[in-house]
Structure 1
């Protein structure tokens, strides 16, 4: 039976093809067939956003983020929070699009053209006459996978969307009184005194028994877990490694020397004088013709008597920087002058007088007065430099070839890195106590999240196989393997007893500090004169912490101060407890005029942003936004 099916399988495939394909040709493929089962995750103005839409949008955003930062941890792009942020952006875009349609907002061609011209990359494509280089523009937007029409449609759409909230945000303003009230609250200062009750002050009072320590250990075993770790081997292939395997021959060095002799010698410099008849490039044609005619007359005169060049330059040249020196410009190399002028000078022989040369500045008559050719260094003088340059070039050319060998070898001989190391003359490096996340201060491959993720993949851990070759930086590949693996485990009590004791003492001492602090707060509130351990007064503000914990300053500023002195307390966690006495309110420092103007501008921006967010919430209500996907917890 099976043999019969095998013999006739080709016939069966052809029959199925003839039966199935015509049905698609006749009725077509309904896109909803593939997306019908995708659940709805949000609705905006009656339009659905499905799970498949969300997945596609997040994939595109992740691809863009990876392209911009290839060395970033890819796991950060696929967290529940990152995915939910993509959904919220999709909803926002749909809300603004609906608002544009309902408000009949649009962008004129004139405004679109002005916006495009304000984009630096496009502005750089302008020709001297002000027209746009159409081919360069097409290539620029083509690099983004768009046609000019598609790019302009996207820009027009973005401009229309920005009008929805832009009118609210940009029209926001505040009065000086509002600013002063907000800044007085934000930058208020208070004179306070502090009494600190730290756990260290109470540590000696804590004498735990073995039973208490063991009970603490059992209740806090999560604190005594040792994360999984591995001993790993890895191979690093970069330009330095490739360069170390290369040795250029003497003939190669001497050939490279000859090919680069002009560059090594430095730039040739030329000395020239000129007579300039000024004519701006945007001057009327008649004005430029008049200037050109004057230059032609001077050229004719100089052809008859070249010796009077300096005298004619002093009398006629309209270059204020060189006319008084007979037109002398001194020595200069290529790149120092405008191109038409430079081309003329470096195409002349010493003593020549040029025809009239036109540039953006007008019309020039030029004479070449001297040539300074730098002395070429000897081969031995530049040998170290030549060798370094040639090795770098050879390494860059060789890297692609070696990278292929490296990639194939670590895959084909996956049980060991040594064959690849021997083949490419690389050194197998080892590291101990490697964890899934980069350790503080880690460098090189062990600081790369992608490499660590590959090392701790199931195949690498269970089968001790090489990872694939991973690109961790430009011209840098790494492959590794786990030689020894220790899974995560809870350390036994006997091994961590001293650590348990230290944590228990710190915990109980913190409780005693809080209890003492709270008791003192009640006592001093009842009898302020009994307060006997307050530190000297200091003035604190949100922007003047005075080396105090943020929580302490916040507590001092949030406490009611309608009756002074006032008292409050704050739990500082591992730092214990603090009792705060508020003596007086200190007005904020007067601002200079420039600082006040900057504060007003900043406050208007804050106010505009808040009003924009509030308006967006109203739009969400108007367009009946429903987000069905649950918001992930942070």
Structure 2
């Protein structure tokens, strides 16, 4: 038998069959053995070779010829964390970390990283390269690396060191180079967009368009009291189950630690107050002030020698005039000063304290005596002639005058100290028994209060505070049943809470929501009745009747409003939007329509005339601004279209389980 089997499998037919069977195994199984590795990407982007754009995605063609880039999981997590911090900073106390952890937010972050890789691949394939000079200019233009508007190498190094993790200049330069390369194609495309004069004219006509409209408001019918059968209720419930789910709720117990209600001994002794006064005497000194005026002859620090000489000659001439007997310094300043701020007031600068003026000006001013006029003083702004009109010497505020402020500060510090000690004592008791509030509350003689059950949008009282609400619905407190860390809801005001009951979001039976289902069915009946009435009225208008006549049949009032502009609430912004979405009526005809308002009523309207805007009414600056804004919009759309088109030419694989 074995000999017969060997004879049958050793012929040329068997060899051909075996060869044919080898082909699919070579193409569809070998890569599992040849290219085994630990896959860690969040997304993989692959592009066919430029010389074979229609190359198939079969292995080994894809493995050997296609270009591949990956979005690493760590890169995705870092980007997502940055997005989280930005959202937290923007929303403040309203930020909900659980809500942010949605699939949509993760995909938005990943899509942005994928688009960057797509653009990087496209730029490389197009031969786009970023020179060292471009990288240097881009880095030096970043405000975070500048001091007084100029690039500062020391600040640059400190900023890179402060990054998490720290970056070397070479690594940051490479990151900047990659960013410039990725953004070059869409940026240049967006900047190349332009709007023709004809397009601007058309846009102005559209934006300035006005429409003659007649409208009437169809109110909701009277309350529906007709019975709702069990079959109707069951059908509605099955079709709208998501609307009748019970939301997640919690019940909490909490202790309110309010520093404002703590008994504090806030009556300091004279010795305590005097010690504080002596230690902080510098706070109770009124600084010296000088009432000054000046004349400024402005000249830039980098002006040429001719301009510098002209300014110096002018200030010397003004200085001589100011020193003449009976000279009016204020009149001279009003006529000649280049300081637009003080010139109308005769150069008056008001009372000046040390540290408020540039160094040369301040040095000269505080070296003068009352009534003197300084020699010309050079600063970064130009030349100054200073007049010191009056001196108010600094003085020490006596202890008795400072006493009320010292007592107030002492009371505040004592209250804060007592609050911190009280909170620390309470928290120590909590740590001894972290799953109960009552023992710790009893130790400090505070009541344990209870609140709930409540949902995220139903919280009242202390739970309405965003920080408290966030803690109440945190996974840790719900699962562990432990007492929270102190939650600050105001200065010297903390709350400690514990979740005592939690009900997850869940489906409710029809019996539990029967009343809500019946109310929803009756509301839907009213809405459909109003819509049917509105549709019947529109049909009559289309048949040739006027809207006024149709409205009168329904005992409704119709209004004619000529020249309605865009955005006007006639009678509602949504209604006006519908007027402008209606087609332009034919000659002698109207364009009827309807739109539902937030209160459930329906506006039935008829557009009888469309008047284009007049481009001549727009000034030249307005036309230019309109063209620029329109070009920016067009450029942005072009850039987005480019990214979408490039992405369609590539194969993107997303590892959902790693997000």
- Scaled by the length of structure 1, the TM-score of the pair is 0.70
Whole-Å Cα distance in 2 between the matches of residues 368 and 559 of structure 1? 74
**Which residue number in structure 2 is paired with residue 249 of structure 1?**
268
Question: Shift of the alpha carbon at 1:358?
Answer: 7.9
Question: Shift of the alpha carbon at 1:193?
Answer: 2.3
**Which residue number in structure 1 is paired with residue 484 of structure 2?**
467
**Which residue number in structure 2 is paired with residue 300 of structure 1?**
none
| Pair 1:582-2:607 in alignment | yes
Whole-Å Cα distance in 1 between the matches of residues 473 and 625 of structure 2? 52
- Once structures 1 and 2 are overlaid, which stretch shifts more, 580-589 or 279-288? 279-288
Whole-Å Cα distance in 2 between the matches of residues 394 and 136 of structure 1? 41
Superposed counterparts of 1:319-468, under 5 Å: 332-340=352-360, 342=362, 360=380, 372-390=392-410, 409-418=429-438, 420-421=440-441, 430-435=450-455, 437-439=456-458, 446-448=464-466, 451-457=468-474, 460-461=477-478, 464-468=481-485
Superposed counterparts of 1:66-85, under 5 Å: 68=89, 71=93, 72-85=95-108
Question: Shift of the alpha carbon at 1:166?
Answer: 1.8
Whole-Å Cα distance in 2 between the matches of residues 185 and 271 of structure 1? 60
| Pair 1:572-2:596 in alignment | yes
Whole-Å Cα distance in 2 between the matches of residues 211 and 53 of structure 1? 55
- Once structures 1 and 2 are overlaid, which stretch shifts more, 485-494 or 219-228? 485-494
| Pair 1:507-2:528 in alignment | no
Judged with a 3 Å threshold, the aligned counterparts in structure 2 of structure 1 residues 80 and 366 are, in CA distance, closer, same or farther, namely: closer
| Pair 1:260-2:262 in alignment | no
Question: Shift of the alpha carbon at 1:266?
Answer: 2.2
**Which residue number in structure 1 is paired with residue 568 of structure 2?**
544
Judged with a 3 Å threshold, the aligned counterparts in structure 2 of structure 1 residues 109 and 215 are, in CA distance, closer, same or farther, namely: closer
SS at match of 2:559: coil
Judged with a 3 Å threshold, the aligned counterparts in structure 2 of structure 1 residues 183 and 364 are, in CA distance, closer, same or farther, namely: closer
Alignment check: 8 A CA contact 1:230 1:486 kept: yes
SS at match of 2:212: strand
Alignment check: 8 A CA contact 2:595 2:604 kept: no
**Which residue number in structure 2 is paired with residue 532 of structure 1?**
550
Aligned residues: 569
* CA displacement 1:547-578 (0-9 Å, x = unmatched): 33626742662346345523444463872555
Question: Shift of the alpha carbon at 1:241?
Answer: 5.8
* CA displacement 1:155-187 (0-9 Å, x = unmatched): 344333332112211111111211233454465
Structure 1 residue aligned with 2:38, among 20, 36, 39? 36
Alignment check: 8 A CA contact 2:299 2:307 kept: yes
**Which residue number in structure 2 is paired with residue 554 of structure 1?**
578
**Which residue number in structure 1 is paired with residue 124 of structure 2?**
101
Whole-Å Cα distance in 1 between the matches of residues 523 and 143 of structure 2? 60
Whole-Å Cα distance in 1 between the matches of residues 475 and 297 of structure 2? 79
Superposed counterparts of 1:184-195, under 5 Å: 184-185=205-206, 188-195=209-216
* CA displacement 1:260-318 (0-9 Å, x = unmatched): 334334222257999999997557999999x99xxxxxxxxxxxxxxx9x969999x9x
Alignment check: 8 A CA contact 2:46 2:68 kept: yes
* CA displacement 1:464-513 (0-9 Å, x = unmatched): 53234457789876431134556667889898776555433322122222
* CA displacement 1:78-125 (0-9 Å, x = unmatched): 211111111111111112222332344344555545444443343325
SS at match of 2:284: helix
Q: Which runs of 5+ in 1 are unaligned?
A: 1-31, 293-307
Q: CA RMSD in A?
A: 5.3
Alignment check: 8 A CA contact 1:232 1:434 kept: no
Judged with a 3 Å threshold, the aligned counterparts in structure 2 of structure 1 residues 210 and 388 are, in CA distance, closer, same or farther, namely: farther
**Which residue number in structure 1 is paired with residue 647 of structure 2?**
620
**Which residue number in structure 2 is paired with residue 23 of structure 1?**
none
Alignment check: 8 A CA contact 2:251 2:452 kept: yes
Judged with a 3 Å threshold, the aligned counterparts in structure 2 of structure 1 residues 475 and 618 are, in CA distance, closer, same or farther, namely: farther
**Which residue number in structure 2 is paired with residue 233 of structure 1?**
253
* CA displacement 1:600-634 (0-9 Å, x = unmatched): 22111111112222222333345x24244689xxx
* CA displacement 1:384-413 (0-9 Å, x = unmatched): 433444555677788888776666553432
- Scaled by the length of structure 2, the TM-score of the pair is 0.68
Alignment check: 8 A CA contact 2:252 2:499 kept: yes
| Pair 1:139-2:163 in alignment | no
SS at match of 1:508: helix
Whole-Å Cα distance in 2 between the matches of residues 321 and 55 of structure 1? 63
**Which residue number in structure 2 is paired with residue 607 of structure 1?**
634
